[in-house]
Structure 1
Amino acid sequence: MTQTHDDAARSPHGDAAGVPVDEPAQPDRIRRTSDAIRFVASVVGLAAVMLLVSIAQQTTHGLETDIAEGTAHAPRLLLSLATLVSSFGVLAVPIAFGVERVFHKDGTRVAIALLAAAIAFGITVSLDDLVVRAAPGGVLDSLIWGGTETAPVHTDIAPVIAFVTAVGMAGRLRWQAATWALIGLAALTGLTASYASVAALAATYFLGRAIGHGTLYTVGTPNPRPSGRAVVAALERLGLRARRAARLDEPTGDAEEARVYGAVLDPRRRAGDDWDVELRVLDRDQQTAGLPYRAWRLLRLRATTTGRALRSLRRSLEQESLMAYATGAAGARTPRLVATSEVGTEAALLVYEHVPGRRLADVPDSEITDALLTDVWRQFRALQAGRLAHRRLQEGAVLVGADGHAYLTDLRAGEIAAGDLALRLDLAQLLTTLALRAGPERAVGTAAAILGEEALASAVPLLQRVALSRETRTALRHNRDLLTRIREQIVRRKPETAVAPARLERFRPRTIFSVVALSIAAYIVIPQVASLDIGTMASTANWTWVLVALGAAALTYVAAAFMLMGFVPERLPLRRTVLAQLAASFVKLVAPAAVGGVAVNTRYLQRSGMRPGAAVATVGASQLVGLVTHLLLLTLFGFLTGSTSQATQNLAPSRAVVIAVLSLGLLAGLTLTVPRVRREAATRLKSMFSGVVPRLVDVLQSPTKLTTGLGGTLLLTLSFVLCLDASIRAFGGSLPLTSVVVVYLTANAVGSAAPTPGGLGAVEGALTLALTISGLSADTATSAVLLYRLLTLWLPVLPGWGAFAYLQRKEAL
């Protein structure tokens, strides 16, 4: 019979349970990362089944027909016997296992499993009785078999799968084999009896697994981690009898850290009050902690730069043990590994000789001497000579002993027979770790004395944030120029050092952004284009005016470039600035119109050598001038339109609008009389325009820049107005230019305020309504708006993506 944790806590001599262990109380239930990951994986599997049956209905129906024809020749007695065995056994075996668990005082887990089974039963019954009748067809036609009398999921086995998933049968192979064999037999009989299809059975499996893991994660799993007494009992089975023990580490949010205990042995091996041995406990449920992050790193970075994403308990025990023995054999100073053992089925134990001391993170800066740094580098040199990669050379991995010597610890992620890249990555990591505490000059100086300048030079291309650990990258946020200073120190010692960064990434996050943005654009564009009667529009359009509209749309990017260049004291290349505006047309498809362009221009100016604060102020100044110009033009042309055209008088503000505006202004004025609100508003406005006003003053002092900036602003508006006017004329419409200006300015204001990408929906609606009110027919207004948006929003998508990718490749974005 499998040994339980309570059994493990009993010593073969009968007195291990009496050894005092000082440790905080463990929680009764825990939420395991593995349950969340498996829940997500099951949901993805269920979605994949839905997608597969929706696009391969003929294949699924053909498979089911083949199964029906094949089983038609089977002996009826054999099928009846299989149905009887599966119907009885599929419930009897899980119930028997549940009773066995209750007798072993594991009733909480059985109760959680019963809850998961009840949830699964309710969901499957609802699907069978309600969903099929309410929404037959589509995917459901592929899930059911033989009409709506059959079931889209297997009601009999879905609760059993949820129960088995939640109750947990890890390490109990006979129970697992019997349970899943009967579930498979029940699925087979469901196929032969035309009760469920292959797709329905696959959906049933993933649904049951999802409910089981989801219930486990929501309610929490009974804590399977062995207690300190069980750990001491495992220690005694190794021939090491403990007098007392205590947990040394504080429980933290880092779920990847092992539990650490100290123990005093009988007889004593060390004088004084120090512990004789240090016990590291690896819990099975923590082996998946941090898995999403490790998987992301594995996908993003080249394989030689990362370790394994998924590790079993046995694999983790063997890896750390091997690294401990290899590190000692290489001559590097590390606590000696005394013994290893399993603790029941849910944990493993590594027994180290205790070395009194402090982690480097706990050592004050004043005590980090050059002698200590030199000793750290000596231990690192021994690792490198033995071709051992540590992979976690952070402050917690360096122990400063009471004797003043440095010890390398935390070997869980190490690698033997490591390649050159892994060894160089360790060097870059340790350089950064020590530079964070002692400064780049001392870190590089002591390293050069031990490793040599040639070895240090090999680490320069790898001094990148992406190559460092997550904790180190977090620390670098407060010291952003540290890596640059380390490079400078190395290059100063060896001027011929290659400083070009090595390519460590398979792809960058911005590559994913580009792919997602292009996918969203395609998802939005294709339905829009598909809904148009392109043939009718092409046959009725005046292509001369279409070309004029196209030229005006192209001119907007030149105008936007001049608008930005006018507010930058430095000289910007016109061609690259135009490409930046074209790239912004691609970005605004995944961001509101008022956000995408600002972000791209700010990034472009930073890449051009401008400080972040100055770049933000420059873009803010151009946006502020554009806003003021927009309002002035709207007021001016609104007055001219209302004075000269009866057709567009409805565009003038009504009395109700005037009253509403005055009421809002009065309310805002009264609100600002409250001191706290006034201070908050002043603070926000100051932070927003603190750098904008000085930038505007700089522009006003340069007539050339002022002309470029204001000219670009006016040219941008004029280009859009000409594009809209040419689009109207392309379909036989005609409006006074003042009316077109008012329509464009109004719709642009609506689009800038809309939170949709590129003002999608808001601009089209505002333009169509305004043009119709101005006197155009509904068909002409709709066609003109579609052409205008095609030229200014959709057509630039591919060129914009190309410009975006080009500027990224040139590191201009």
Structure 2
Amino acid sequence: MTQGVTHGTRKGASEAPSEAPERRPGAAVAVPVDEPAQPERIRRPGDALRFVAAVAGLAAVLLLVSIAQGTATGLQSDIKGSTERAPRFLLTMATLISSFGVLAVPVAFAIERLFRKDGVRVAIALLAAVIAFVLTIVLDDWVVPVAPGGVLDSLIWGDSKTAPVHTDITPVIAFVTAVGMAGRARWQAAVWTMIGLAALTGLTASYASVAALAATYFLGRAIGHGTLYAVGTPNPRPSGTAVMNALAKLGYRPVHARRVPTPADEPRAYDVAVEQGTGRRLPHGDWQLRVVVLDRDQQTAGLFYRVWRLVRLRAATPRRALRSLRRSLEQEALMAYAVHSADARTPRLLGTSEVGTEAALLAYEHVSGPTLDRLADDEITDELLVDIWRQFQRLQAGRLAHRRLEGEAIQVTEGRAHLIHLRVGEIAAGDLALRLDLAQLLTTLALRVGPERAVATASPVIGDGTLAGVVPMLQRVALTRATRAALRHDKDLLTRIRDQILRLKPEGEAPPIRLERFRPRTIVSIVALTLAAYIIVPQLSSVNLGQLLSSAEWWWAAVGLAASAVTFVAAAWMLIGFVPERLPLWRTVLVQLAASFVKLVAPAAVAGVALNTRYLQRSGVRPGPAVASVGASQLMGLATHILLLILFGFVTGSTTNATKDLAPSRTIVIILLALAVTAGIALTIPKVRRFVAARLKSMFSGVVPRLMDVLQSPRKLITGMGGIVLLSAAFVVCLDSSIRAFGGALPLTTVIVVFLTANAVGSAAPTPGGLGAVEGALTLALTLAGLSAETATSAVLLYRLLTLWLPVLPGWAAFAYLQRKEAI
């Protein structure tokens, strides 16, 4: 990176002027600063955050209006009735003022900015206004007429005289948002008063609804913030010279400074040489101070990740995902003083100061030396590791949590460790935070020197009991993002750390503590359930449930219930057939019934595989053969499922016209070919190919030898294959009975195709029991097959009741019984 010198020139970094002029503390100085040229424009993370918030607000308005149209209509009617009773003179004046002022006030503000030579900001705001105007024209005049009945129609009130978004106000809101009026209270009051009067005029004149105005506000804000982030804003960060002038206010006399390279998401830092004779004890050398600069626009960097971690992980103390500049300055300063007071080795904080209104600085004594992640392997001695653990022990004794003990947070000077990067630390930390710190430091050191040396050097310093207490915390989710990325190259490192600790203290073994409030797949489940509700609820609204229930033939439901019960016996045969060892039938049936309870908290395929594997191990089958046996049954079940789907799909498509919509069309063929080509191209990438091969190997390792063992016993083969066929047949009978219970009828081959298709979708869906995916696929397929929407929806609900929900209670009882018997 090209380095430049601002505000003066200098021949060498270590040279000092022969005569330093006398300066008063706080006087402005022209200090030479070696730093790269700062960009004229930057993209502020805060603009991206506000853009996302505005889009979320717009989506919320559309969602609320679409599901609460009656409430919106009532509110609109109440407002219109109230305004009609208002004095006509006041309404006329408001209309005249807003018609003129809603454009005049922004124009006046733009002229004022131009006189102050701020034309770039006005140009950006004008661009946002143009984008907003074009977009509103497109929405009002093109999208709504082309797609009647769409989501935008929910914003239109009455006899379609209103528009979904307000064409006059949206550009003004976008302009005001992009131009920025922070600190100009009078201009803000004038502009938003005019916008409010224009909105009131739209309501009284019945050409804008309440929902449309709310959507207009969020749309204008989104366009304004989005334009700001896309184009960038003038860089408000103070220069290095301004930082040095602020440092001089602390009584130091800087003579030279250089910018220290830091990651993009880290604060700026400067090494500073100062004149001696300040009355403060400073280290000798070229550089005496390390100045860290906190820029206001950087406080929102990484906010989405911090919010995600804050919501997802359990914590002993509440933390803020978003902090003000003042809050960040106070937290880092307090942590620095606390660490120094605890006698842990860290650069001494000498002072803090604001740098204008957009930044603040912290001045530390300069400590030279590389960080642990940059240290050569042969320089990391056992003595250095012991010293790191001693500094850590002092943190723990002072109830201080660093919360980011990565390699870059440990600086090594002459074989001694210094703890740095304290900005996210925590004082008066709870036990959970302290144990998380220990887990992080153990993993950081183990990545450099291996788990054996990391644990061996920690044991005499912090004790075996403390080490044993961290075993439940050794989870990937507890570590920092950089550490989790490093663990991808050494996936069994945490297990090896646990093993080393348990060798020192075997009685310290404990199950992992649940650190997550929820897992990412929970979000997937919620989204899938929401989509399922969006599909199914509108169909239920048109169903006359009373008439359907009174006319239903409930003896068909009894047949479906019996078929559902048979599925558990079939699943037991399927497992028994692929296990050479002898398994009791009825206990195996209970395991399949228990799986119906477990799959409510995990995807269906995952729950069955995990529970069956556990059952086989408890029955005396070694872990390797147990996994192979379950994998063999799953592999044969998948192959049989595909063959049946192809066979009956061909028979159905060629023998009946009732299901012509289910027959493969040209579009489906094109999609399948495109997927095949995409998969083929993906497999040409070595990394993708290795990933797929590793997953398949882990799933089906040992399956072929297990299948060979089964093939040597015809009785086992017949039992296993018979269970697979009986399982599918029982589900088909249950679905067909559910259809007939509500007066529907479809050819048996069609029902088979529908079931096989929906079952494949449900197995692939990452939701518990295939929730959402199965219902949506079944309802759509049955409707395409010729059933009415009412009959298809009712049949699917009955089928899922019989196969998913009714077995839950007996499944829970079976699960509890098997646990008491230590069978699972």
TM-score by length of 2: 0.76
> Please, what is the CA RMSD of the aligned residues?
5.3
Q: Map residues 529-608 of structure 1 onto 2, 5 A cutoff.
A: 543-568=554-579, 573-580=588-595, 598-604=605-611
Partner of 1:261: 270
Q: Paired residue for 2:451, among 411, 427, 440?
A: 440
Q: Map residues 647-726 of structure 1 onto 2, 5 A cutoff.
A: 691-701=702-712, 705-720=716-731, 722-723=733-734
Partner of 1:112: 124
The structural deviation recorded for 1:767 is 7.7
Partner of 1:64: 79
CA separation of 1:752 and 1:439: change in aligned 2, threshold 3 A: same
Residues in 1 aligned to 2:81 and 2:730: alpha-carbon distance in whole angstroms: 65
Amino-acid identity (%)? 59
Q: Paired residue for 1:499, among 510, 526, 550?
A: 510
Q: Paired residue for 1:463, among 470, 474, 484?
A: 474
Partner of 1:33: 45
Q: Map residues 407-486 of structure 1 onto 2, 5 A cutoff.
A: 407-486=418-497
Partner of 2:354: 342
Q: Map residues 98-109 of structure 1 onto 2, 5 A cutoff.
A: 98-103=110-115, 105-109=117-121
Partner of 1:590: none
The structural deviation recorded for 1:292 is 1.4
Partner of 1:773: none
Q: Paired residue for 2:230, among 205, 218, 227?
A: 218
Contact conserved, 1:83 with 1:189, CA < 8 A, in 2?
yes
Residues in 2 aligned to 1:200 and 1:258: alpha-carbon distance in whole angstroms: 42
The amino acid of 1:421's aligned partner reads L
Greater CA drift, 357-366 or 700-709: 700-709
CA separation of 1:337 and 1:788: change in aligned 2, threshold 3 A: same
The amino acid of 2:43's aligned partner reads R
The amino acid of 2:246's aligned partner reads A
The structural deviation recorded for 1:213 is 1.0
Task: Give 3-state SS (helix, strand or coil) of 1:304's partner.
Answer: coil
Task: Give 3-state SS (helix, strand or coil) of 1:213's partner.
Answer: helix
The amino acid of 1:563's aligned partner reads M
Task: Give 3-state SS (helix, strand or coil) of 2:470's partner.
Answer: helix
The amino acid of 1:417's aligned partner reads A
Partner of 2:344: 332
The structural deviation recorded for 1:91 is 4.0
Residues in 1 aligned to 2:529 and 2:515: alpha-carbon distance in whole angstroms: 25
Partner of 2:383: 371
The structural deviation recorded for 1:286 is 1.8
Partner of 2:324: 312
Residues in 1 aligned to 2:92 and 2:424: alpha-carbon distance in whole angstroms: 55
Partner of 2:636: 625
Residues in 2 aligned to 1:537 and 1:724: alpha-carbon distance in whole angstroms: 17
The amino acid of 1:556's aligned partner reads T
CA separation of 1:355 and 1:503: change in aligned 2, threshold 3 A: same
Contact conserved, 1:724 with 1:744, CA < 8 A, in 2?
yes
Residues in 1 aligned to 2:684 and 2:165: alpha-carbon distance in whole angstroms: 61
Residues in 2 aligned to 1:230 and 1:463: alpha-carbon distance in whole angstroms: 45
The structural deviation recorded for 1:238 is 4.0
Residues in 1 aligned to 2:360 and 2:565: alpha-carbon distance in whole angstroms: 67
Partner of 2:805: 798
Residues in 2 aligned to 1:70 and 1:164: alpha-carbon distance in whole angstroms: 33
The amino acid of 1:411's aligned partner reads L
Residues in 1 aligned to 2:647 and 2:420: alpha-carbon distance in whole angstroms: 74
Q: Give CA deviations for 1:709-765 in whole Å, capped at 9, x if unaligned.
A: 223123224434554676788799999xxx94x556555565577799767787778
The structural deviation recorded for 1:555 is 1.5
Task: Give 3-state SS (helix, strand or coil) of 2:378's partner.
Answer: helix
The structural deviation recorded for 1:103 is 5.0
The structural deviation recorded for 1:192 is 6.7
Contact conserved, 1:751 with 1:762, CA < 8 A, in 2?
yes
The structural deviation recorded for 1:783 is 10
CA separation of 1:434 and 1:799: change in aligned 2, threshold 3 A: farther
Greater CA drift, 277-286 or 429-438: 429-438
The amino acid of 1:68's aligned partner reads T
The amino acid of 1:379's aligned partner reads Q
Task: Give 3-state SS (helix, strand or coil) of 1:796's partner.
Answer: helix
The structural deviation recorded for 1:619 is 5.5
Contact conserved, 2:411 with 2:418, CA < 8 A, in 1?
yes
The structural deviation recorded for 1:693 is 2.4
Residues in 2 aligned to 1:276 and 1:226: alpha-carbon distance in whole angstroms: 22
Task: Give 3-state SS (helix, strand or coil) of 2:362's partner.
Answer: strand
CA separation of 1:548 and 1:193: change in aligned 2, threshold 3 A: closer
The amino acid of 1:693's aligned partner reads V
Contact conserved, 2:144 with 2:153, CA < 8 A, in 1?
no
Q: Paired residue for 1:44, among 43, 56, 71?
A: 56
Residues in 2 aligned to 1:154 and 1:635: alpha-carbon distance in whole angstroms: 54
Q: Give CA deviations for 1:754-787 in whole Å, capped at 9, x if unaligned.
A: 79976778777888999xxxxxxx78x9999888
Partner of 1:3: none
Contact conserved, 1:277 with 1:353, CA < 8 A, in 2?
yes
Partner of 1:774: none
Greater CA drift, 336-345 or 406-415: 336-345
Q: Give CA deviations for 1:104-130 in whole Å, capped at 9, x if unaligned.
A: 554332211111112223334555666
Partner of 1:207: 219
Residues in 2 aligned to 1:148 and 1:682: alpha-carbon distance in whole angstroms: 56
Q: Give CA deviations for 1:490-521 in whole Å, capped at 9, x if unaligned.
A: 45545554724444333344444444444444
TM-score by length of 1: 0.77
Residues in 2 aligned to 1:732 and 1:83: alpha-carbon distance in whole angstroms: 61
Partner of 1:283: 295
CA separation of 1:727 and 1:528: change in aligned 2, threshold 3 A: same
CA separation of 1:337 and 1:132: change in aligned 2, threshold 3 A: same
Q: Give CA deviations for 1:240-293 in whole Å, capped at 9, x if unaligned.
A: 3433322222444xx2x1122222224599788642222222222221121112
Residues in 2 aligned to 1:158 and 1:295: alpha-carbon distance in whole angstroms: 30
Residues in 1 aligned to 2:777 and 2:790: alpha-carbon distance in whole angstroms: 16
Instruction: List alignment gaps of at least 5 residues for structure 1.
Output: 1-5, 588-595, 652-656, 771-777
Residues in 1 aligned to 2:180 and 2:401: alpha-carbon distance in whole angstroms: 36
Contact conserved, 2:50 with 2:222, CA < 8 A, in 1?
yes
Q: Map residues 107-256 of structure 1 onto 2, 5 A cutoff.
A: 107-125=119-137, 153-173=165-185, 175-184=187-196, 187=199, 196=208, 198-252=210-264, 255=265
Partner of 1:406: 417
Contact conserved, 1:324 with 1:336, CA < 8 A, in 2?
yes
